[in-house]
Structure 1
């Protein structure tokens, strides 16, 4: 009697290592690679511009800040270490004054411009006849060139300008008048007033867009509960504007810290450096006085300052659960 041992054969044999993937998987992988190449081709122009006009200048500024490079000089740049930073904080009174002016400008501009923009947004959000006209009026300064606005206000701030004439009229001749931009105690304040007037319409529009995203049903429920207009604002409007508030504060702060055009057109940093700012001082040193290395140092300090302020703002406006 002969017995034969049978070896069981698996129904589905496992594919050998290195075997070709099924055709469907190959097609999916090829499609994904094609999509990746297409996406990279679409992003390439913007990426190239960012590298050319953002990444490379930042790296160059970082490198130049440690040298004594000049814009026009027969001598090659020489590495000086931290000498430029020491000079900024110890031997350059204009830098310290520009930092103080920038800080004062931002401290005043941010709350006043944000608050006034919110007030205007609440007013023009009412369902009244002619409210669209007021929206346009408040927004017109935003679309007007800041250079043109600065030139016009420069004439208005003169001793015989419109501002002094208006004050003289409402005070019945008691006002003697002053040259606002030539007085160290009033020049920065005059620029602050101009900046608020010119940009408040933009932030009014941002606040208005945030107001129009709040459902009307919430206000109806609040009115049914007997809430006063102030209670409706504090319990319905303000909580609904949280994300808008963060955006407005960040944009106003960045614009305030980067103040340059108004100073360059109206006062050139004077009188007695009472209106110079960090950005204006960096441009003046780097291009007009041709101290490229020192100008790059001021720019680097300004970048660190903006980064710190942005991080602090982000921390203070974070979601608190």
Structure 2
């Protein structure tokens, strides 16, 4: 009798732990997801489909030529465009630097701010504040910081740090310094966003893991290496994916600060696509650039997910 009652208690428990979704649950989930799915359809899927269709034509605003179907010819022209190849190189270099550096900086800031100290919320707000500033405002401010001459703020700072050894440079008009200058701006502006995500991941790590490690005599470095990093694996993967996508979407800073110069050293795919579409009025060429850009970003993010798979949570 006792075993039967125990078996009767265990069965309901297993049903509660592994509930099967019902038809009503599925309908409710679809209803709640409908606004987001509709937004994706209207503002992502349909525009991309339209861009894909346009990229196979010779559409050009204000042109008297009739609309023609060119097939893959437009893509061949884009690949042969030296400005587009330079833009791809700049985007790749920007992402190659920004993804590891920004992720490491965000992780360091999150570790510093993951403390129960008086006024810690103020410091978190200060580090996150650049994220909420409009990029147009940030770009204008940093253009002033990068002003050429000895009176420029960045030149004055570097001259002071090096005790006068630094010679004033025109950062945004120097082909060797323009892209690094954009990287520094983007690093300052975007690290706070990744910091908040990693900070949330840090606060979800059970304290018991660190307490057990401390009892076993583990030092801080070993706790970071064997507890913090493995527990943040999925969070760090997400942060790197988001940073990669944002790096390839680089546009606002370029448009405001350098207009792709000097000598194309800061041009990007998005800047070239916008320039082709609206300045040169070559809508088909711009559409082809965006389709290629989307395909490349999709491949990169897929490879990241494939090469660094997420770990499933252990209950």
Q: TM-score, normalised by structure 1?
A: 0.85
- Of 77, 101, 107 in structure 2, the residue corresponding to residue 112 of structure 1 is 101
Q: Does residue 89 of structure 2 align to residue 85 of structure 1? A: no
Shift of 1:140: 0.9
Partner SS for 1:142: helix
Shift of 1:48: 4.2
Decide whether the 8 Å contact of 2:105 with 2:191 is kept in 1.
Answer: yes
Aligned partners of 1:112 and 1:99: how far apart in 2? 20
Q: TM-score, normalised by structure 2?
A: 0.86
Q: Does residue 278 of structure 2 align to residue 287 of structure 1? A: yes
Shift of 1:176: 1.9
Shift of 1:38: 8.0
Instruction: State how 1:93-172 maps to structure 2 within 5 Å.
Output: 93-159=82-148, 160-172=151-163
- Decide which structure has the larger Cα Rg and report it: 1
Aligned partners of 1:268 and 1:96: how far apart in 2? 17
Shift of 1:135: 1.0
| Counterparts in 2 of 1:171 and 1:33: CA distance versus 1, 3 Å | closer
Q: What value does the CA root-mean-square deviation take over the aligned residues?
A: 2.1
Shift of 1:88: 1.8
Unpaired stretches in structure 1, ≥5 consecutive residues: 1-31
Give the corresponding residue for 1:317: 308
Instruction: State how 1:174-253 maps to structure 2 within 5 Å.
Output: 174-253=165-244
Shift of 1:71: 2.1
The total of aligned residue pairs comes to: 289
| Counterparts in 2 of 1:224 and 1:157: CA distance versus 1, 3 Å | same
Aligned partners of 1:35 and 1:218: how far apart in 2? 36
Decide whether the 8 Å contact of 2:79 with 2:85 is kept in 1.
Answer: yes
Partner SS for 1:175: coil
TM superposition outliers: structure 1 runs of 4+ over 4 Å: 32-48
Shift of 1:87: 1.4
Aligned partners of 1:250 and 1:241: how far apart in 2? 14
| Counterparts in 2 of 1:233 and 1:288: CA distance versus 1, 3 Å | same
